[in-house]
Amino acid sequence: QVQLVESGGASVQPGGSLILSCAASGSIFSINAMGWYRQSLGKKRELVAVFDSGGSTNYADSVKGRFTISRDNAKNTVYLQMNSLKPEDTAVYYCNANIRHYVGDIYHPYWGQGTQVTVSS
């Protein structure tokens, strides 16, 4: 089995910064895309940022220029550097990874349990 363990969520003031991390462990042969999603009160879960298998990144328009996604492939870990945080960034943030367990396997989606980010004064 695979687990994604998230950390870094906290309460911060507007304009503050946080770094979220997510480490995948377990039966992993390879990982292609890793990313971050969030779900705020009254809204559907949305994509925040993705680091795909080709090394490209993609961001939601609402976070472009403020958030940066990065990966440490040796540690099966993805990070989200969050700067200039706004109250509307308040949400539960979920890590996602597409993982195969052996050569020839398909990629399976896995999700972290979520970490709370609260931005308020």
Q: Give residue-wise pLDDT tens across range 54-96.
A: 899 999 999 999 999 999 999 999 999 999 999 999 999 999 9
CB 112 within 8 A of CB 95: yes
Cα separation, 117 vs 65, in Å, equals 18
What was the pLDDT predicted at 46?
97
What was the pLDDT predicted at 1?
87
User: Look-up: residue for tokens 């961001």?
Assistant: 59
